[in-house]
Structure 1
Amino acid sequence: MALELSSATDEIDWARVAERLLYLFPPVIGVGIVGILQDVEPGVPGLQWGLVLFSSFGYTFLSLGLAAALFLDARRVRRRPQASGHWQPNPLFNAIFALLWAPVAGVVYLFRRHRRFGTPPAWSGWWLVVAVSLAATLIGTVAAVIAVVFSLPRLLTTAVGLAGAISFGAFPVAIHQDAAYVCTRADSWRPNPGLYLGFAFLSLFVPPLQPMLAGYYLLRRRRALGVP
């Protein structure tokens, strides 16, 4: 039984599991931010605390899952010394790091792993989602300015909510997946998906960074592949 369980564990691509878990952190954190800011319908009692609790439990669950994924993947890498070269990740260290600061631990691990093994390419059209995220942020910013100038609170809420939802839910996934595609297709530019995922996470808390990052990425992509 133990041998079968170990074999089943080894068949799972734990690096891809870590990626998917990282993708879920921004939406979970976003739900908590909404709860803290009390940006919900006032007629629903307890909803604000419910959102905060959901975010807290969700973050904890994702952290535990990411810690397990990094531990198992690092252990597998250490068993392949010829393939991993000089990189010998410590399974226990990465697991503890993930428990303490999960998003950063995951991004750093994927960044270093990509430098040795690369990242499997994905759909070639993820740049479209990056472009939509950029457009949503710019349009949302303009709408928010108009709402403030003309005292339109409903427009302000809608603009900020729409731009925030796209940024938190789609932008990190899109830029990471597209970077994985570009680095296997372009000779002049090989973006590290882990690095761009980290910048995308940072842009969620430094809003001006998101349009700059998206614009820069799309420009470099066009120079490398001719698209967009």
Structure 2
Amino acid sequence: MSDVTRVDYDGEGLSEEHVAPTPWQQAQRWVDDAVERSHARDDVPEPYALSVATVDASGAPNVRTVLMRFFDERGPGFLTNTDSTKGVELAGNPAVAASLTWPSMYRAVRFRGRAELLDRDEVATYFATRPWGSRISAWTSRQSQPVTSRAELETAYETYAARWPDRGTADDVPLPDFWGGYRIVCDEVEFWGGRRNRLHDRLVFTRTAEGSLDDASAWVLGRRQP
């Protein structure tokens, strides 16, 4: 590892006087900034990429990257096959941690809390907006299960594509029973801003009462050492 290139982070960081009054407002600011930068430059290719960590029945952690498809005052949400490894693990233990990370901006948002299943109507509404091919793929992939070859996967795709051909309508592919999603009900939201000499900013909203991410009375703000 002697050839590691060391980069000093020259981000803006985040100070108490500039942080938004609620974790949702601050997170939305940074998400908007990341989306805007993804349009203006090529160094934020997927601003909604969300790393999601769960634990299995033995307590061993698992992490993977999904796309954040919902984000409002209730918390960030993502879609998945609920029979997948993450779905099985969340059914056994809803504890979850997630992170939005934008290295080129020297920023990250960390969420910790518990996962709750999304309402079925909300899932159906989103599913109808997906491209036809993505809806067919939802049926094709028995996510996390073994498959003998790429050819087997593509054959399954063609089978479902023939069953539900593209008619150009939102209901030409039915919503699978095993396809759903989760919302993270947060107890903690941390904002990390990279600074020079590794003296990064870590401002953390911690839940102190019931309330949404946009309810200032439900959160207390603190700073942690980097």
Q: TM-score range by the shorter chain?
A: under 0.3
Q: TM-score, normalised by structure 1?
A: 0.26
More strand by share: 2
More helix by share: 1
